[in-house]
Amino acid sequence: MLDSIAAAMQGFVQDIGYPGLFLLIVLESTFVPVPSLLVMPFAGFLAHRGVFDLGLILSLNSAAALTGSLASYYFGALGGKPMLLKYGKYILVKPADLAKTEDFFSKHGAWTVFIGRFVPVVRHVISVPAGIARMPLRAFLLQTFLGASLWGGGLMVVGFVLGARWQEIAKSAKRVDLVIALAIVLTILALAVRFVVRRRRERTAQAASAGDQA
């Protein structure tokens, strides 16, 4: 299945050219799980063959990543926080939890956004909590630019340097990426279950305390 997805996206890049590559990189910076390890080295390989210009696709990568990340940031800033403040109680998210998120990003947001660009799953969603926390836009854009340029641009350079051998290296790296992604998803699920259980215990304790006072 992974091979068919990769083939479809690579065919899309070949057929559409620079606009197709730009669109995939924009999507890769949002919730859409575009397999960057199978797309961006391919773009570098096409530059190796003279189909693309390496300098142009490196610039295009940074611009597209900023575009997708900025869209996700504003989704979090304009929609995410108000929605969670209004409906968060139904999924056991308190205003205090949002305050903790804002505090975290005010202290560690820059490095979190930068490092998040290199981590599977996280790279697709990191811009949303940054937006919810209203991380300073200038810092967000700088760290996103640096992280995305090193990650996506680095993969393109790898494809350019390796030439026809890029695919075997990328597939091996993608398997590692999938293992890390699975571990992250399982960890998030475990933390979510723990969070829900703790909230229910707090509610039970509060109800019992209210009953004793009555």
Predicted local distance difference test score (pLDDT) of residue 91: 47
- CB–CB of 131/100 below 8 Å? no
Q: How far apart are CA 155 and CA 20, in angstroms?
A: 17
Query: Which positions ≥6 away from 191 have C-beta within 8 Å?
Result: none
Q: How far apart are CA 160 and CA 125, in angstroms?
A: 28
Predicted local distance difference test score (pLDDT) of residue 186: 56
Number of domains observed in the structure of the chain: 1
Q: Could you say which residues of the chain have pLDDT below 70?
A: 1-3, 5-6, 80-110, 164-214
Predicted local distance difference test score (pLDDT) of residue 207: 60
Q: How far apart are CA 76 and CA 118, in angstroms?
A: 21
Predicted local distance difference test score (pLDDT) of residue 167: 65
* Structural domain that includes position 80: 2-213
Predicted local distance difference test score (pLDDT) of residue 113: 84
- CB–CB of 98/89 below 8 Å? no
For residue 6, which amino acid is it? A
pTM, to two decimals = 0.70
